[in-house]
A and B are shown apart, each in its own frame.
Chain A
């Protein structure tokens, strides 16, 4: 019975993974390659690739990855927090031929760190390595940066199916470790879910005004 619990102590894990990155860097292609193993296929023309589930089995534990695609356009940048609230992992995608997209990744990371601290597991993917010739983001720079923020860097290609599987697998393993750590810390399941829920309530832009809380508490 216990393994049926959604946030279960011993069995299932439900992880939410957000895909962040500028528009047209290949977020959608990556997730479709991973979940459907298809790239620019006729059959995926009609698919929606914004929300996908992937079931995994690692070390006898069943894991459900809910992969959330996000809108990467600059003007939706401010909406990021609404998306990655409550998420366990984030994959930051940039296009190796596009220096700008790498700068965006840096912004995302900064924000994620600010909002979620170290609760979230980060992976950075330099996508489109099939276009190695046109590379604009030096490998060393990218890897160095990833190391500095505690993220794992991958060189991927959704087109050639390079490192996609590894990227997700590695991230999942890290998320599992993190979850197990959390379980150790918080034996009480309820407090955990409550804290998770708290996060989602923030539709109100006034919410971050932290000092107000002291005010309320007095009555």
Chain B
């Protein structure tokens, strides 16, 4: 109610009082400096004077008539009545002059656009609010959901209408909002579609509607131009700035300004408090206050023994508010007071903390020397900035910072000196050790020198392996290889003689060479000379190769088998010459081995036949020429 009388911001003090002499009420800019009573009197008087003309003019809105009228009004009346006339006439000129105050004419549409643009600016956040509440809305069912939103819509339509009318005081809007909350609570209890909801859901829904509606209309309702909120904000801000020298000691709140933990907590409390300005819904702002206060409680645990009482809490809160100097503090407080669901939120814990915040603000506004327990002159000197106390928060911070650094450095130095001591000791020990080691080594070397005197022996000559060596004679093996080299000749010579050997060895010398050639050619894809010579495709050569390889295989097992029976055969190369005699019968032995068909039947049969015929067959079948050549 009170604020209604001084709705304009940034007006001089002298303008506040009613212009008519002797009137104690405050004047109003809208009434050109008169209070409402004087304004009305003036208005009535004026009306009597120009009444008929005005009535005549009203329905026509002709601009020429208006200007005439205006001239007349200007000449004959004080500003105020002119304004009143214009208002009633609603001519264009009036609209221009008083734009933003009267909105019934085309001007109203412009205003509407403004309001709508303000509302639109919040749309995204409103959507976010709705998204957040998605679960709740789903839980209550579509009917209730639709109904709630219908309620909200009709509510804000009504409210927006009122906002557009500049004569509506913010208190009326607040009243209407509170009524809306009440009606909604009632509706939730009475309407059938809400009957199935739990109490929790109802609470949540109330929260949601509040948040939704208030976020949507935030721009219109927060610090509206029709109030002096902004002015008050600036005043309190200035006041707090003036009081920046107040320290925790002045507040007697037991906050130790130099300890790190309290610092951090004070800062986090300040952060929470500053966050209040950025929240949109009143309940969110309230939540910020609650969080700030909880931080302060944590803080108090460090500073005060025993459970925190209001005696400790309030000074701490005041201190935090002083140090935070939150933006638009008054606007925020007024906004929450006006548009928070009073019956619910204000009665709980949030309400308590909020009340404390109000107390803190009120205390700061009315702070005197007495409330800080200091002499008046000292206080005024502080306020005028003549003296700066040594222990303001800032300087405490700086001091603290210095002390922190000092402490940290001292600690570091102590650590370093300890380390260097240890290092010195260790270096000493190491040196001792090294000296001892050195001595010991010298001692040992001397000992060794003594026990093993240096005797220079003649140089050893490298042994000539080929040279005759007495030691070599002692070793028997070197002798045998010499003998073995002789033996194969014997065996080769012998083998042809023996009839058994003739079968195989005879083709062997020829074939073995061929065999290897074939094998290689096969492996390499048949592009070797042998293959070309044969003129056979890879397939054929494969066949021959297999045959040959079989032959080879067959040949070797026999050799292997033979030695089993007669070691002499195996040791053709290695055996000493003494076994020469034994070698001779070995070719004979293959006979029984051939008769023993288990291993060598195929070996004997296949190689012996294909070796000769195979080669010739190959040659005769495919390319006899080359075969002959080979």
Contact = CB atoms under 8 A, between A and B. Distances in A.
Task: Specify whether A and B are partners.
Answer: yes
Interface of A: 1-2, 4-7, 14, 16, 23-24, 27-28, 32, 40, 44-51, 53, 66, 68-73, 75-76, 78-79, 82-83, 85-86, 189-190, 193-194, 196-197, 200-201, 203-207, 209, 212-213, 215-216, 218-219
A216 B342 contact: no
B413 interface: no
Contacts of B300: 48
B311 A72 contact: yes
A82 B358 contact: yes
21 contacts: A1-B189, A4-B189, A23-B311, A27-B309, A40-B306, A45-B306, A46-B307, A48-B313, A66-B348, A71-B310, A79-B314, A79-B362, A83-B355, A200-B346, A200-B355, A201-B174, A204-B3, A205-B366, A212-B5, A212-B25, A216-B4
B490 interface: no
Given A7-B343, A203-B334, A219 B311 contact: no
B338 interface: yes
Nearest to A79: B359
B311 A24 contact: yes
A197 B311 contact: no
A212 B2 contact: yes
Contact of B175 (A68, A73, A194, A216): A194
Given A24-B311, A40-B306, A200-B342, A68 B337 contact: no
B189 A2 contact: yes
A138 B88 CA distance: 72
B76 interface: no
Nearest to B359: A79
Contacts of A7: 343
Given A24-B311, A51-B353, 15 more contacts: A27-B309, A48-B307, A66-B348, A68-B352, A71-B313, A71-B314, A75-B373, A79-B363, A86-B346, A194-B179, A201-B338, A203-B333, A205-B362, A207-B2, A218-B36
A28 to B, nearest CB: 4
Interface of B: 1-5, 25-26, 35-37, 40, 167, 169, 171, 174-175, 178-179, 182, 185, 189, 199, 252, 297, 300-301, 305-311, 313-315, 330, 333-334, 337-338, 342-344, 346-349, 352-353, 355-356, 358-359, 361-363, 365-366, 370-373
A44 B307 contact: yes
Contacts of B310: 27-28, 50, 68-72
A27 B306 CA distance: 13
B362 A46 contact: no
Contact of B352 (A66, A75, A201): A66
A50 B373 CA distance: 24
Contact residues of A: prevailing secondary structure: mixed
Contacts of B167: 219
Nearest to B353: A51
Contacts of A32: 307
A206 B361 CA distance: 15
Contacts of A207: 2
Contacts of A72: 310-311
Contacts of B346: 86, 197, 200
A49 B182 contact: no
B2 A51 contact: no
Nearest to B330: A203
Contacts of B315: 71, 73
Nearest to A77: B371
Contacts of B359: 71, 76, 79, 82-83
A73 B26 CA distance: 36
Contacts of B362: 78-79, 82, 203, 205
Nearest to A219: B36
Contacts of A205: 362, 365-366
Contact of A6 (B175, B178, B344, B372): B344
A212 B25 CA distance: 7
A76 B314 contact: yes
Contacts of B179: 190, 194
Contacts of B37: 215, 218
A45 B298 CA distance: 11
The 8 closest A-B pairs by CB, nearest first: A28-B309, A71-B314, A69-B310, A75-B371, A51-B352, A197-B342, A79-B359, A49-B307
A194 B178 CA distance: 8
Q: Which of A7, A44, A193, A207 has the most CB of B within 10 A?
A: A193
Q: Which of B182, B300, B307, B358 has the most CB of A within 10 A?
A: B307
Contacts of A24: 311
A205 B348 CA distance: 24
Nearest to A209: B2
B342 A193 contact: yes
Given A1-B189, A203-B362, A206-B2, A216 B347 contact: no
A48 B373 CA distance: 27
